[in-house]
Amino acid sequence: MALLEADVNFRVARDFVQRVRERAVGTEVLESLSPGQQIVKIVNEELMAILGGESPRLVGADQSPSVLMLAGLQRSGKTTTAAKLALHLKRAGHRVLLVAGDLRRLAAVEQLETLGRQLDVPVYSEGPDSDALKVCRQGIQKARDIGAAWVILDTGGRLHIDDEMMQELEEVKKATSPVEVLLVVDAMTGQDAVNSAQSFNERIGLTGLIMTKLDGDARGGAALSITQVTGLPIKFIGTGERADALEAFHPDRMASRILGMGDVLTLIERAQENIDQERAREMDRKLRTATFNLEDFLEQLHQVKRMGPISQVLEMIPGFSSLSKRMSPEELDGSHLKSFEAIVYSMTPKERRNPDILNGSRRRRVARGSGTTPQQVNQLINQFRQMQKMMKQMSSGKMPRNMRGMFG
């Protein structure tokens, strides 16, 4: 029932349950595991098998530039994904050129040019009177001229699959010989994503998939179906609107997320990308000596926000996924942190460094300046003191019993 509610194809769900049953009632039992642990182990291994087993990678051409062609329906996030993919490759040390080959959707070219400027990635485009085939050919020549290692072709899409769109994609693929043809699919569309992938693969031949909008209610049900039904690997997943919200797909990590077992490796990678190491060491010293103040507290809030929505961060921590169900929408999207920031910004530098001097009149002044109430100011101060106390206990080797309450 959980698989079907997650929009997994019913045949995939049926076969999956059958395989788990055969292994669970068979002789494959480890004495060191309890029956419950054994079931979790079997389910996790079968999920990984369905999702592809190993983490797929982009395959470059023998000679530069390597051409990557993106396909997909409108509203699947194709143009935004092209920019995210360019940033991903740029951070890996490659020079990238984006080609605005989507001439079907109004403002698609302008959108890609804007994203390119924001990310400092060059974009090749032509006027509206041009055609996609010419733009893509000229774009690849431009990539050779500037010495780009990768060319990303953003091709045209429609609201539904039709022969004219497929014909155009077939012509572009034949003329550009891409080493990667990736279909961008919206995870929120469920089984429609599977059907689209099958149709595109039959007509143009795909090398992989990129699933977008996996930061919403879709926890991976479509991912289970799409890899099993089409046999195509998922190479990347989109986890948000930001330009850096694109992750390489790891079947083992997705299986852990689906089971609510967290995803510590992705959490660590995200922290390394968003947290300054020198400041982290200094903060570690302050936390151990319980000398951090509200300015440090504010900095920590900013770093956590850069890692993504609180709901995503919590889901990556083993054992904390259930906590999100008891949190309000404001707490999950981090919007309640804005009032915290306003309160701290309304304090003087002296008050931030030494919150103990915040008497009644000072707290009322801070509340007026931040547009909050004295009760909210008191709540922040109390939570800050709780955190100080908790860190002091942890630095002495003790784990507070009420630690769970801190995250509420």
Is the separation of the CB atoms in 261 and 314 below 8 Å? no
Structural domain ending residue among the three candidates 257, 285, 307: 257
Query: Is residue 320 over pLDDT 60?
Result: no
- Is residue 217 pLDDT above 60, yes or no? no
As a whole number of angstroms, the distance between CA 243 and CA 96 comes to 15
| pLDDT higher at 74 or 365 | 365
Question: Structure pTM?
Answer: 0.65
CA atoms within 13 A on the CB side of 124: 27
CATH number at residue 87: 3.40.50.300
The domain boundary residue, chosen from 198, 230, 257: 257
Residues 323 and 375 in one domain: yes
CA atoms of 215 and 192, how far apart (whole Å): 18
Shared domain check, 112 and 196: yes
For 255-314, the pLDDT digits (tens) are 776 666 655 556 666 666 666 667 667 766 776 666 778 888 777 777 777 766 666 666
Q: 224, 257, 290 — which closes off a domain?
A: 257
Do 288 and 240 belong together in one domain? no
Residues 102 and 222 in one domain: yes
* 56 inside domain: no
Whether residues 246 and 273 share a domain: the answer is no
Q: In terms of domains, do 246 and 206 share one? A: yes
Mark whether 121 and 143 lie in a shared domain. Answer: yes
**184 with 297, same domain?**
no
Q: Is the pLDDT of residue 385 over 50?
A: yes
Rounded to whole angstroms, what are the CA distances from 294 to 65, 250, 364, 401? Answer: 50, 38, 18, 24
pLDDT tens sequence across 182-213: 999 887 776 777 888 888 999 899 999 998 87
Residues 248, 282, single domain; the answer is no
Q: What pLDDT, on the 0 to 100 scale, is given for residue 138?
A: 93
76 in any annotated domain: yes
Q: Which of 311, 185, 226, 305 is nearest to 260 (CA)?
A: 311
Task: Indicate whether 375 belongs to any domain.
Answer: yes
pLDDT digits (tens, 9 = 90+) for 108-131: 899 999 999 999 999 999 877 788
Judged against a pLDDT cut of 60, whether residue 379 lies above it is answered with yes
| In a shared domain, residues 159 and 231 | yes
Say yes or no: 249 and 347 in one domain.
Answer: no
Q: In CATH, what number is assigned to the domain containing residue 291?
A: 1.10.260.30
Cα 408 to Cα 267: distance, rounded to the nearest angstrom: 20
Q: Decide if 59 is inside a domain.
A: no
Confidence band, pLDDT 50/70/90 cuts, at residue 403: very low
pLDDT > 60? residue 251: yes
Number of domains within the chain: 3
In angstroms, rounded to a whole number, what is the distance separating the alpha carbons of residues 232 and 383?
48
If asked whether residues 45 and 93 sit together in one domain, one would say: no
Which of 379, 1, 9, 70 is CA-nearest to residue 222? 9
Residue-number span of the structural domain to which 109 is assigned = 66-257
Instruction: Give residue-wise pLDDT tens across range 53-106.
Output: 677 788 888 888 999 999 988 888 899 999 999 999 999 899 999 999 988 887
Per-residue pLDDT reduced to its tens digit, 147-165: 999 999 999 887 778 888 8
